[in-house]
Amino acid sequence: MTSTLLTGISELWTLDPALDDPARPGQVTEEQVLHEAALVIEDGRVAWTGPASQAPSADEREDLGGRAVLPGWVDSHSHLVFDGDRAAEFEARMAGQAYAAGGIGVTTSATREASDERLRTLVRARLAEAAAGGTTTMETKTGYGLTVADEARAARLLAALAADGELDEVTFLGAHLVPSEYDGQDGRPGAEEYVDLVAGEMLEAVAEHVRWIDVFCEEGAFDPARSERVLRAGAAAGLGLRVHGNQLGRSGGVALAAALGAASVDHLNHLAPEDVEALAATASRPTADGDAPGLLAVDAGPTVATVLPACDLSTRAPLAPARELLDAGAALAIASNCNPGTSYTSAMSFCVATAVLQMHLSLAEAVRAATRGGALALRRSDVGHLGTGARADLHVLDAPAAIHLAYRPGMPLTHQVHRRGVRIA
Ligand code: NIG
């Protein structure tokens, strides 16, 4: 087993959970950021971190030249299985048109027509783009198939990539939009029948391939009652719950997610004080071990408030109140929501910079939300930090300090990316 010693690290953000301060949830402690540090990788895991002056010897050695090292980003919300382009819709939005979820149908048509091979190639290219920007853990969803066959195809494709170690978490989002063939017109079935399908035959077809079920709880998509039906069916099948909530209005998604113990509720652009309180109240729910090392149980722990800064900009939505959520004590994550309609970017460094510059988080709060926060939202203990035993997922910045991410927004600051101890970018 070869060991590698990395030296020349000006800042090493271990974010080691063992060094959390329970009195300051969501905050990075002084001990979690080392200066003039070194790190040893062995067998794809972090074997040692500490002051460079005390570094042990190793089989191989690399000097990073005075750069900052962070855990790789943990992107807990993306929709990568799609074909087609909605640049025209985006352009119209920038000219004043409001976002309407109807564009999901446009992508669904293009995705259904794409071959398996084409979809796989597209997803892999998108994963590579994300990795090039420092993302080392990625969740992605089905949701542009919306038939039993097409959702099962997307789930199988993603599960195969996950089995190959190319992505980490797979979510079933059959409840993304009620497809036009269920419009209830001219004798065609309606939304209730589509919910029956999602919660029944479709769920059965995908369940073995996914760990999560998600629902777009929004006016124009699925109301809280229908969303609850889908989520309860998913929970009965052993899946963890995720919710798209309060994106276009006060949809009830946040209340539903907190009530059902969802692992995450994402978007959060329209929150009343009681929504913030409901999320904060879940923060004390303890996590529990899952059924494999590095995995936590999907049905225990806080409902993580996941904000999507790139999506908020791309839809000109009111920014999700990340500052208020954190101040209230909610568990916070930042994710890209990479998708063709509302956020065609997987650039987590951009999301972090936006959270600092526009959402008024400190750099440390934003980095933590995009690493540890994402890991909690995905119920994983093996990623999002560089404590001993963690997956050796490293984001080496071409900068001496992580603050450069917000100080020099948009600059290409990713110098190296390592996943499971292997350099991937
Ligand atoms: O998370 N809100 C629902 N789903 C995506 C958008 C999908 C689309 O417009 O294609 C989102 O923003």
The Cα 175–Cα 198 span in angstroms is: 7
Q: What ipTM was assigned to the predicted interfaces of this complex?
A: 0.97
Ligand 1 centroid to residue 338 C-alpha, Å: 9
Tens-digit pLDDT profile for residues 134-190: 999 999 999 999 999 999 999 999 999 999 999 999 999 999 999 999 999 999 999
Q: What is the mean predicted confidence (pLDDT) over 401-422? A: 98
Sheet holding 240-245, edge to edge: 73-75, 135-141, 169-175, 212-217, 240-245, 264-267, 304-307, 332-334
Q: Which long-range contacts (CB under 8 A, 24 or more apart) does 296-300 make?
A: 296/379, 296/380, 296/381, 297/379, 298/211, 298/212, 298/239, 298/240, 298/241, 298/263, 298/379, 299/235, 299/240, 299/241, 299/261, 300/261
CATH number for the domain spanning 400: value is 2.30.40.10
Domain presence at residue 406: yes
156 assigned binding-site residue:
no
Q: How far is the CA of 341 from the centre of ligand 1 (A)?
A: 6
Q: What percent of the chain has pLDDT over 70?
A: 100
Q: Which of 358, 295, 360 is nearest to 325 (CA)?
A: 360
What's the 267 CA to ligand 1 centre distance in angstroms?
Answer: 10
In this predicted structure, what is the pLDDT of residue 1?
A: 82
Residue identifier of the C-alpha nearest atom 9 of ligand 1:
341
Residue 275 lies in a domain: yes
pLDDT at 101 over 90: no
Q: What percent of the chain has pLDDT over 90?
A: 99
User: Mean pLDDT, the chain, as a whole number?
Assistant: 97
How many whole angstroms separate alpha carbon 87 and alpha carbon 73? Answer: 27
The verdict on 188 and 328 lying in the same domain is yes
Ligand 1 neighbourhood includes 342 CB (under 6 angstroms):
yes
Is position 208 within any domain? yes
Domain that holds residue 407: 3-72+387-423
Please check whether residues 203 and 332 belong to one and the same domain: yes
Q: Do 240 and 364 fall into the same domain?
A: yes
Mutate-to-test residue for ligand 1 from 104, 146, 217, 313, highest number of ligand atoms within 8 A of CB: 104
Q: Which ligand 1 atom is at minimum distance from the Cα of 144?
A: 10
Q: What tens digit of pLDDT does each residue of 28-77 get?
A: 999 999 999 999 999 999 999 999 999 999 999 999 999 999 999 999 99
Q: How far is residue 323's CA from residue 105's CA, in Å, rounded to a whole number?
A: 34
- Regarding whether 93 and 64 lie in a shared domain, the answer is no
Cα 320 → chain centroid: 16
Give the phi and the psi of residue 69 in degrees, each rounded to 5: -125, 130
Both 174 and 285 in one domain: the answer is: yes
Q: Output the pTM of the full model.
A: 0.98
Contact criterion met (CB below 8 Å) for 221 and 243: no
Ligand 1 pocket residue status of 143, Cβ below 6 Å: no
What is the rounded average pLDDT of the residues 331-358? 98
Q: Is 250 annotated as a binding residue?
A: no
Whether 382 maps to a domain, the answer reads no
339 is in an annotated binding site: yes
Give the closest residue to 416 by CA, choosing from 133, 168, 165, 10: 133
Task: Provide the CATH number for the domain around residue 239.
Answer: 3.20.20.140
What is the total count of domains within the chain? 2
Lowest mean pLDDT among 87-101, 217-231, 250-264, 308-322: 87-101
8 Å CB contact between 425 and 411: no
Measuring from atom 12 of ligand 1, which residue has the nearest CA? 342
Q: Report the alpha-carbon angle 92-98-104, nearest 5.
A: 80
* Same-domain status, 317 and 394: no
Q: Tell me the best of 172, 244, 314, 345 to mutate to test the pocket of ligand 1, counting ligand atoms within 8 Å of each CB and taking the most.
A: 244
The answer to which of 94-103, 234-243, 306-315, 404-413 has the lowest mean pLDDT is 94-103
